[in-house]
Amino acid sequence: MADDFMKMKTKYGSVMSVQIGLWDCVILNDYDAIYEALVKQGKKFSGRPNNVLFDLITQGCGIVFIDYGQLWGSSRRFGSRALKGFGVGKKEMERNVREETFFLIESLTRKEDRRSLLLKLTSATSNIICRLVLGTRFDDNDKRIMRMTELLHDFFAVTTDSKLCGLVAIASFLRFIPPFSGSIKRAWDDTVEFSEYIRDIIDEKALNFNNNDIRNVSDEYVGERISNRPNDLALNQIIQLIRDLFEAGTGTTTNSLYWAILCFAHYTECQDKIAEEIERTVGEDGVPTMKHRDEMPYTCAFIQELMRHRTLLPLSVFHKTIEEATLNGYTIQKNATVFPNIWSVHFDPKYFENPREFRPERFLDNDGKFIKSTHVIPFCIGPRHCLGEQLARMEMFIFLTGIVQKLKVVPDQCLPVPPFDVGRFNILAYEARDFDVIFERR
pTM for this model (two decimals): 0.93
What's phi and psi for 15, nearest 5 deg? -125, 115
What CA–CA distance (Å, rounded) separates 109 from 106? 5
What does the pLDDT look like over 99-112, one tens digit per residue? 999 999 999 999 88
CATH of domain 2-441: 1.10.630.10
Q: Between these two residues, 166 and 440, which has the higher pLDDT value?
A: 440
Contact call for residues 79 and 388 (beta carbons, < 8 A): no
The domain limits of the chain are: 2-441
- Whether the pLDDT of residue 293 is over 60: the answer is yes
What's phi and psi for 20, nearest 5 deg? -120, 110
What CA–CA distance (Å, rounded) separates 298 from 321? 40
**Bridge partners, 431 (sequence order):** 424
pLDDT at 230: 52
- The torsion angle over the Cα atoms of residues 230, 91, 240 and 178, rounded to 10 degrees, is 170
User: Which residues contact residue 272 at a Cβ distance below 8 angstroms, ignoring those fewer than 6 apart?
Assistant: none
What does the pLDDT look like over 298-341, one tens digit per residue? 999 999 999 999 999 999 999 999 999 999 999 999 999 999 99
pLDDT at 405: 96
The C-alpha angle 54, 330, 42, rounded to 5 degrees, equals 50
Contact call for residues 1 and 170 (beta carbons, < 8 A): no
What DSSP designation does 228 have? T
Q: Which residues of 250-267 are buried (b: 16+ CB within 10 A; e: fewer)?
A: bbbbbbbbbbbbbbbbeb
C-alpha closest to that of 178 among 49, 11, 170, 186: 186
pLDDT at 232: 58
322 to 52, 132, 150, 209, 215: CA distances (angstroms): 19, 33, 37, 41, 37
User: How many CB atoms neighbour CB 214 within 10 A?
Assistant: 18
Contact call for residues 370 and 297 (beta carbons, < 8 A): yes
Mean pLDDT of 187-193: 91
pLDDT at 254: 94
- Whether the pLDDT of residue 139 is over 80: the answer is no
What's phi and psi for 351, nearest 5 deg? -110, -25
What DSSP designation does 415 have? S
Contacts of residues 4-13 at CB distance under 8 Å and 24 or more positions apart, as own/partner, are 5/29, 5/315, 5/339, 5/341, 5/343, 5/344, 6/341, 6/343, 6/344, 6/347, 9/344, 13/328
C-alpha closest to that of 437 among 108, 105, 122: 108
